[in-house]
Amino acid sequence: MIPASFEYFAPRSLEEALQLLAHHGTEAKLLAGGHSLLPMMKLRLATPRTLIDLGRIRGLSYIREDGGRISIGAMTTHAEVESSELLRRRAPLLPETAAEIGDVQVRNRGTLGGSLAHADPAADYPAALLALDAECVLTSQKGTRTVVAKDFFVDMLTTALQAGEILTEVRFAADSPRTGSAYRKLHHPASGFAIVGVAARLTLDATGKGSAVSVGITGVAPKPYRATGVERGLLGQTLDAKRIAEASAQATRGVEPLSDLQASARYRAAMAAVFTRRALAAALGRAQKQG
């Protein structure tokens, strides 16, 4: 199908983009990589009257560290995240997650901010952002505000972004010593989206106990979530395969898994426990190697 007609703007600055967004209001959509919006427009599931293309704005694509905190611009591509030497050294969970997104073409075109703002319940990044305790910087003509990742994802395809706001940056702390992380995923065989995706990050103290544990899960529920039951089962404990398996059984505690053509709710719940165990075991192995 052919999309409905629309006006197209390609602003050269963030200020110009914000002015256009404020002027056109709810009739406008932001275009980043386009992998989600354009197919929806072709199917006429989305019919915006105005497209505001962010691709020509300089200054929204970067990866940098300052004072132990890492900042990533919203227009940074998946391929740039995947290949970043800084991230591989200081926050390897994100490059590992980015490598699991789609295919080479998607990774070279799709953007971090576009994926997060779309909030597909089967997207990969949200699990990692939750495990990293990341913050999302939202910018409007009124200024900026910061929303933590667990509050940014509101529901299926719904975020905390308000009218006139653009997601411009993601921030999080770099890994501390004796920290390991991993992303493990059950792929949909055609699309590559996550039927279940689990991001785990843990830090060991000098005795080998878990001093910090975070687990983000995507694909299972209408929105990504922190598996707090799993985290409580490991925090302050001596971590081994048995302890991890017991805690992973709580992966869907308090959550009602989705049921659709790809997987039943029962299957998703079972796979959430399996992939949580795998992600935690890999993260533990990596943390131990640093000890």
Side chain identity, residue 167: L
Q: In which band, very low, low, confident or very high, does the pLDDT at 1 lie, cut at 50, 70 and 90?
A: confident
Residue-wise pLDDT for 68-85, tens only, equals: 999 999 999 999 999 999
Helices (H), 139-184: 149-152
CB atoms within 10 A of CB 143: 7
Q: In which band, very low, low, confident or very high, does the pLDDT at 291 lie, cut at 50, 70 and 90?
A: low
The structure tokens 């992998």 sit at 35
Residue-wise pLDDT for 109-120, tens only, equals: 999 999 999 999
- Could you tell me where in the chain the CATH 3.30.43.10 domains are found? 7-53
- Could you tell me where in the chain the CATH 3.30.465.10 domains are found? 64-173
Residue-wise pLDDT for 197-256, tens only, equals: 999 999 999 999 999 999 999 999 999 999 999 999 999 999 999 999 999 999 999 999
Whole-model pTM?
0.96
Using the Cα atoms of residue 197, residue 32, residue 81 and residue 151 in order, give the sign of their dihedral: negative
- Could you tell me where in the chain the CATH 3.30.390.50 domains are found? 181-289
Rounded Cα–Cα distance for residues 173 and 245 (Å):
28
pLDDT value at residue 199:
99
Residue 114 neighbours by CB under 8 Å, 6+ apart: 32, 33, 34, 35, 36, 74, 75
pLDDT at 190 over 90: no
Rounded Cα–Cα distance for residues 60 and 113 (Å):
10
Rounded Cα–Cα distance for residues 208 and 196 (Å):
29
Query: Burial, 130: exposed, middle or buried (Cβ in 10 Å; 0-12, 13-18, 19+)?
Result: buried
pLDDT value at residue 91:
98
Residue-wise pLDDT for 133-182, tens only, equals: 999 999 999 999 999 999 999 999 999 999 999 999 999 999 999 999 99
Residue-wise pLDDT for 46-69, tens only, equals: 999 999 999 999 999 999 999 999
Is 2.40.30.10 the CATH number for 7-53?
no
Q: Are 82 and 107 in contact (CB under 8 A)?
A: yes
Architecture of the domain spanning 181-289: 2-Layer Sandwich (3.30)
pLDDT value at residue 35:
83
Q: Which CATH entry fits the domain spanning 64-173: 1.10.533.10, 2.40.50.140, 3.30.465.10, 3.30.390.30? A: 3.30.465.10
What DSSP line would sit under 213-256, residue for residue?
EEEEEESSSSS-EE-HHHHHHHBTSB--HHHHHHHHTTTTTT--
